[in-house]
């Protein structure tokens, strides 16, 4: 597999259950001891010099990253990138076989017949050139005409691009203590600050699933999130729009409530919900609204009703017996999302969860592509994207 990404399969198997089912599945990967990670990072010298010391201008960042006029008028987005007249249309697209995110995104856009408003990408804390460095050259270039959503995981992936799914948790307690500020956190904050343009930023997305993975307790996550937020502020990176992302799986309701850092630390709330259908051996087909509305309403009733909502990952599995069903699922989105008025961004997860055809969530061809193309042409998803 190429490109940074989350392991969907094990997490998804726990999310498709009915709200009353509290069973959870563990991810099937081998933990790597932290000592190995520290040795790797120290031995290779990924943070041998700080960006401020090496290049105060932010080495490798575009000089015009924050240039251009801002949109004006009644549909101009807010300071926290909320579009008042509709919603952003975005996607997570895995890296191309040649290792290029730019090629992957441009190829996807050619297939869907429009430019994405928002490109979503994932990073670990390794400091490596693509996986662990926020704002890669491809991200910077794509960000000139699009919004970026950067998900930063408090883990180190064992293989490049998480190829075999093994990773080491750095631990929320350690993040909150400032243990990794100087070597890991601060250099990436400086990169974002130098970039200038506003970006969406999600720390440890699907955080409710990470408790079982060993990241820590809800209280430790809140402390880590607040520490990271405050550290960005202290270093002057005020161009970050903070997105708090959970799975939206209602069996984790207690955990999700306990994981919320507070309205003063969050700009958007986000969730990852799907119509898995036969991918999880069920005959229950959920249309778009039924796949999203229960978690949307629960989060607004139980966490906060004061923040815009992002569908940070969404998609439908196909129906082999009725291929047109997948097309209709997507064409129904423009009408259905208007019934969820605080949903202001939709980000398609364009990647299979496994090699089984019933778990292919992509819209790269066939009826799924046809429906997704049509949905993306709706005026609700034609909002003015800010240049900074």
CB 151 within 8 A of CB 205: yes
| DSSP per position, 14-81 | HHSS-TT-------------HHHHHHHHHHHTTTSS-HHHH-TTTTT--TTTT-SPPP-STT---TT-
Q: Hey, which bits of 226-371 come out as E strands? A: 240-246, 268-272, 309-314, 343-349
For 144, residues 6+ apart whose C-beta sits below 8 A from its C-beta are: 62, 64, 65, 387
Pairing type for strands 268-272 and 167-169 reads: unpaired
Read off φ and ψ for residue 211, nearest 5 degrees.
-60, -50
d(CA 388, CA 385): 9
Across the strands, what pairs with 245?
270
The tokens describing 247, both together, are 């799975």
d(CA 151, CA 132): 11
The tokens describing 227, both together, are 């520490």
- Dihedral sign (CA 152, 155, 159, 162): negative
CA 361 to chain centre: 16
- Dihedral sign (CA 228, 92, 284, 13): negative
Give the catalytic positions in this structure: 206, 313
């Amino acid at each position: 597999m190429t490109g940074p990404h989350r392991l969907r399969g094990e997490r998804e198997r726990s999310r498709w259950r009915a709200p009353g089912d509290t069973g959870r599945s563990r991810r099937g990967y081998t933990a790597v001891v932290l000592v190995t990670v520290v040795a790797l990072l120290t031995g290779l010298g990924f943070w041998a010099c700080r960006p401020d010391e090496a290049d105060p201008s932010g080495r490798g960042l575009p000089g015009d990253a924050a240039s251009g006029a801002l949109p004006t008028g009644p549909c101009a987005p807010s300071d926290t990138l909320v579009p008042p007249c509709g919603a952003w249309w975005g996607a997570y697209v895995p890296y191309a076989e040649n290792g290029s995110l730019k090629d992957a995104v441009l190829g996807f856009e050619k297939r869907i017949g429009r430019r994405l408003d928002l490109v979503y990408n994932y990073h670990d804390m390794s400091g490596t050139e693509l996986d662990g460095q926020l704002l890669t050259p491809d991200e910077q270039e794509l960000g000139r005409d699009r919004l970026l959503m950067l998900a930063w995981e408090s883990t180190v992936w064992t293989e490049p691009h998480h190829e075999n799914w093994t990773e080491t948790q750095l631990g929320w307690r350690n993040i909150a203590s400032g243990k990794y500020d100087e070597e890991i956190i601060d250099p990436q904050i400086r990169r974002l600050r130098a970039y200038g343009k506003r970006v969406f930023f999600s720390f440890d997305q699907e955080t409710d699933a990470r408790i079982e993975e060993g990241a820590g307790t809800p209280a430790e996550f809140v402390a880590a999130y607040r520490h990271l937020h405050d550290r960005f502020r202290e270093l002057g990176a005020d161009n970050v729009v903070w997105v708090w992302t959970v799975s939206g799986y209602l069996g984790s309701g207690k955990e999700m409530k306990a994981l919320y850092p507070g309205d003063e630390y969050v700009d958007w709330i986000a969730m990852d919900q799907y119509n898995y259908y036969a991918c999880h051996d069920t005959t229950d087909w959920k249309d778009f609204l039924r796949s999203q509305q229960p978690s949307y309403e629960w989060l607004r009733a139980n966490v906060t009703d004061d923040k815009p909502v992002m569908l940070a990952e969404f998609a439908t599995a196909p129906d082999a017996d009725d291929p047109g069903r997948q097309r209709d699922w997507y064409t129904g989105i423009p009408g259905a999302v208007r019934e969820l008025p605080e949903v202001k961004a939709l980000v398609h997860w364009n990647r299979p969860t496994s090699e089984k055809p019933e778990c292919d969530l992509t819209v790269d061809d066939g009826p799924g592509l046809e429906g997704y193309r049509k949905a993306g042409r709706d005026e609700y998803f034609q909002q003015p994207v800010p240049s900074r």
